[in-house]
Amino acid sequence: MDYYGSQLSRLIEQLSSLPGIGSKTAQRLAFHIVNMPVEKVQALADSIIDAKKNVRYCRECFTMTDQELCPICSNPRRNHRMIMVVENTRDLAAYEKTGKYDGVYHVLHGAISPMLGIGPGDIRLKELMTRLQGDVDEVIIATNSSLEGETTAMYISKLIKPTGIKVSRIASGVPVGGDLEYIDEVTLLRALEGRIEL
């Protein structure tokens, strides 16, 4: 790739190391970046560095945020007695986009997968159980409908059952194996409203 010169080649190489960016896209982005005004490039670079430095996990729900408590957990108008369990921050964002859920969340950061060697101790389950010692009316399990998501849902419901807290699972209608973030808001809303008590 030396026909681009080492600086440009390095930029292309860095960009193509990102997920979902193939070498063609990386080249297109690199050319776009070098043609941008320098202030815009600076702003882009700064936003990457700032996000990396300041983004952390919410102390309550473990979503990614830049405060100790995320805006949802620190909002007194949300129903803090209803916790929706999701696999990642992108799934949380998908439910937030529906604008119809007023409870809070718990982000697991993964799902149980015996095949990949990911056990209950590798996701934020212990933290969920700690939260359930407070005042909680319902836990809605909104993990994906993949094998891993279903395994995780089953595991969590078994853990919670003895506490007497109501546990429900979002309804099917969410395509099997579908990543929640790619599902439209109407489908998500229907899945939430049609949730089934476990």
8 Å CB contact between 23 and 32: no
Q: Which range of residues in 21-29, 30-38, 56-64, 123-131 is near Zn ion by CB under 5 A?
A: 56-64
70 scored as a contact of Zn ion (CB under 5 A): yes
111-114-119 Cα angle (round to 5): 55
Among 61, 86, 112, 123, binds Zn ion (CB under 5 A): 61
Q: Are 169 and 151 in contact (CB under 8 A)?
A: no
Q: Considering only the stretches 21-29, 40-48, 58-66, 92-100, report the one whose residues sit in contact with Zn ion under the rule CB under 5 A.
A: 58-66
Q: Which stretch binds Zn ion (CB under 5 A): 9-17, 43-51, 63-71, 146-154?
A: 63-71
User: If binding is defined by CB under 5 A, does position 85 make contact with Zn ion?
Assistant: no
Q: Residues 11, 26, 73, 192: which binds Zn ion (CB under 5 A)?
A: 73
The C-alpha atoms of residue 193 and residue 187 are separated, in whole angstroms, by 10
User: Which residue, 71 or 177, is less far from Zn ion as judged by CB?
Assistant: 71
Closer CB to Zn ion, 58 or 136, in the complex: 58
Task: Answer yes or no whether residue 148 interacts with Zn ion by CB under 5 A.
Answer: no
In the numeric block, the tokens 């229907």 are attached to 190
Long-range contacts formed by 186-193: CB under 8 A, 24+ apart: 188/94, 188/95, 188/98, 189/98, 189/100, 191/142, 192/95, 192/98, 192/100, 192/101, 192/140, 192/142
Structure tokens at 124: 């934020």
Site track for Zn ion across 163-192, x = CB under 5 A: ------------------------------
d(CA 50, CA 157): 38
Closer to Zn ion by Cβ: residue 56 or 161: 56
58 vs 188, which CB is nearer to Zn ion? 58
Residues that bind Zn ion (CB under 5 A): 58, 60-61, 70, 73
